[in-house]
Structure 1
Amino acid sequence: MFAIQIPPEPSPVPAPVMAPSWDLTRGLIDATVQLDQPDGNGRRTVGTGFLVEAPRPDGTPRTVLVTAAHVFERMPGTEARIGWRTALPDGAWRFTPEPLRIREADLTPDWTRHPDRDIAVMEIVAPETFARAAIPLGWLAGSTDFDTWQVGPGDELLSLGFPRGLSANRAGFPILRVGRIASWPLTPIAAFPTFLLDFPVHAGDSGGPVFWTPSARRLPDTPMPDHPFIAGVLVQTVEVDGQDLGIGVVAHARYVLDAIALMDAAPGP
C-alpha cells in the first residue's frame, strides 16, 4: 500500500475563439475509439474508450486511454484491439485496428483502476493523428464545475460509443447520441458520484465519453462554459428485474482525474 496525493484540478484550457459546435463534436469523435477482444468462438467483448492528453508529472507529453474498468476486466486475454482509423488520400477512411496489451504475461493489469469507481486509465502510444486528437486534460469537469456552470436535470449531454459493437460506418467511427440528465442532485460529487442520463445504453457503449458542446440544449440564462467539457464516463445501464429501463449511469469525470493521479503515484517497475 502507498499513499497518494491528489493534485489540484487542472485549470480549464482556454479557447481563444469558440469553434463551431460541429467542430467541437468532431474533435471528440476523433478522440474516441473502439476496444474489443475476440473470444475465439466468433464473438467478442466490445467497449469504448477515449484519449486524453495528460502530461506526466515532469511535463512531458503523454496520451492516456480512458474507459470503464469493467471493459478490461471482462477481457481475459493479455491483448485487446484498439480501433484506429486511417485517412486515405482520396478522402476515404479505413478501419485499422491494432493489438493493445492490457495485461502482462503474469496477468498483472497494465491499466490503473480507480479504487471506488468503474474507471480505468492507461498510458498508450497512439498514432500521431490520434495523439493530436486527444482531449485536453482541462476539459474534464472537476468537482465544482457542475455548480459553476449550473448543470442541472433536463440539460442535454452527448455520448459516443459502439452499441453492440456497431460503428457509424465501416471506417470504425463511433455513434453519436444525445440524452438528458435524469437525476438530481448532481453535487457534491462525494455524495453523488454518478448521475443518470435518459438514453438507451447497450453492451459496447461502456467507457464512452459523456460530454457537452454548445450544440446541446440547456436551460436559458445559465452560464456558458468557455470550452466543451467531458461530464463523465458511461459505466452502466439501469435494469430492474432484468428489464432495461433505457437509462445510463455516468461516473463523474473527476474520477478520471483521480485515476490519472493514482497512475502517476504508482511505483515504477
Structure 2
Amino acid sequence: MVWDLSVELIHATVQVEQPLGDGTRTVGTGFLINAPAPDGRPRTVLVTAGHVLQRMPNVQAKIGYRVENPDHSWRYSPQKFDIRDSGGNPLWTQHPNRDVAVIEITAPEKFAKAAIPLDWLAGDETFTSYAVGAGDEMMALGFPRGLAANPAGFPILRSGRVASFPLAPSKAFPTFLLDFTVFPGNSGGPVFMAEGARRRPGSSEAQEVQFIAGLLTQQVELNNERLEIGIVTHARYIRETLALMDDPLAPVTVAEAYSEVGGAKAASALEAVSDDP
C-alpha cells in the first residue's frame, strides 16, 4: 500500500463542539467518510458517537476544519453546521441498537477530498483473516477534554492494546475493549490498526495491515471509578448506520444474548469542557 492510514485519518478527523452559553462547551470527535448517495452523487458524511450529538441541545454545532496556508502552515477554521431542524428535531441518522450517528455535511473542498473511503471500514473477515485479537495494538484519534495536538486543531493520536477476547463475529460481540484511558471529548473518534509487517495465518509473507476497526463510544466506569478501559463499537455498525441514511428499513444487526460491560458509561459529553479564557 502506498498510503499511510494514520496520516489519512488525522486529516479526516475533526473536533465537534457546541458552546453551551455558560462558558463551557460540549466536545466530541468525529471523522469524515466518503459515502456516495445511491444515485452516485458525491456525499461527505460525518461519523461520531450518537450521544455526542444527542447532548448538544442547540440547532447548530461546529466542525473544527483546518486550512493549509501558502507557506504550508495550518490554521484552525471551525464552521457551523445544522444538527437539528428549526423544531429541534435531529437531522442525523442514529443506529437503533448502537451508539453510532452519521450526518451529511457540506465540507470545504479539501476536507471533502480527505474523507476516507467506505471500504476502509473493517468487516468480520478483516479480523479473522489477519488473526487480530487480544494484545494487538490499535490507535485512536480524538480531542481529550477538547485538547488538540496544536493550535491548528489536529487530533491527538494515542494507542492501546485490545483488552478483550474474542473480537468477532460482531453480531455476537458488537463492541470490544481497548486498554486506553478515555476522557470527555474522545467519543466518536476512529480506532484503527496500522501495522507495517503482519503475517496472515498460515503464510510466511508479511504485509501491511491498515483498517478502521470502529469508533470509540464509551468508557468503563465501576462504582464511580474509571478503569482506564475504552469501549469500541465495531465498524460494521457504522456501515449499517450509513445504509439507514438512504433506507430507514435497511437491515440492522441485533446482538443475541449480549450485554455491555457492567458499569459502562458514555465517554464524552457527559461533562462539559471549559472554554479557554
Q: Tell whether the structures are fold-level matches, with TM greater than 0.5.
A: yes
257-266 vs 140-149, which deviates more? 140-149
CA distance in 1: counterparts of 2:208 and 2:138, whole angstroms = 16
Candidates 143, 147, 164, aligned match of 1:166: 147
Using structure 1 for the length normalisation, give the TM-score: 0.87
* 1:239 matched residue in structure 2: 221
1:46-82 deviation digits (Å, cap 9, x = unpaired): 0000001111112222111100000000101010000
1:19 is the counterpart of 2:2: yes
- Amino acid in the other structure paired with 2:244: L
* 2:272 matched residue in structure 1: none
Between Structure 1 and Structure 2, the one with more strand by share is 2
Aligned 1:126-137 pairs, distance under 5 A: 126-137=107-118
1:251 is the counterpart of 2:233: yes
1:31-51 deviation digits (Å, cap 9, x = unpaired): 000000011111000000000
Candidates 46, 59, 73, aligned match of 1:78: 59
CA distance in 2: counterparts of 1:225 and 1:118, whole angstroms = 33
- Amino acid in the other structure paired with 2:240: D
Any idea what SS the aligned residue of 1:234 has?
A: strand
- Amino acid in the other structure paired with 1:258: E
CA distance in 1: counterparts of 2:169 and 2:210, whole angstroms = 21
Computed over aligned residues only, the root mean square deviation of the Cα atoms, in angstroms, reads 1.7
CA distance in 1: counterparts of 2:208 and 2:147, whole angstroms = 33
* 1:40 matched residue in structure 2: 21
CA distance in 1: counterparts of 2:43 and 2:218, whole angstroms = 28
* Cα contact 1:139–1:227 (8 A) shared by 2: no
Q: Which runs of 5+ in 2 are unaligned?
A: 250-277
* 2:42 matched residue in structure 1: 61
CA distance in 1: counterparts of 2:150 and 2:50, whole angstroms = 26
- Amino acid in the other structure paired with 2:126: D
Q: How many residue pairs were aligned?
A: 246
CA distance in 2: counterparts of 1:158 and 1:129, whole angstroms = 24
Any idea what SS the aligned residue of 1:256 has?
A: helix
1:153-190 deviation digits (Å, cap 9, x = unpaired): 01111100000000000100000001110000111211
* Cα contact 1:48–1:208 (8 A) shared by 2: yes
Q: Which runs of 5+ in 1 are unaligned?
A: 1-17
CA distance in 1: counterparts of 2:64 and 2:81, whole angstroms = 10
Sort the Cα spacing of 1:103 and 1:141 in 2 relative to 1 into closer, same or farther, 3 A: same
Candidates 203, 206, 210, aligned match of 1:228: 210
CA distance in 1: counterparts of 2:185 and 2:136, whole angstroms = 24
Using structure 2 for the length normalisation, give the TM-score: 0.85
Candidates 162, 165, 170, aligned match of 1:189: 170
CA distance in 2: counterparts of 1:30 and 1:225, whole angstroms = 24
Aligned 1:201-212 pairs, distance under 5 A: 201-212=182-193
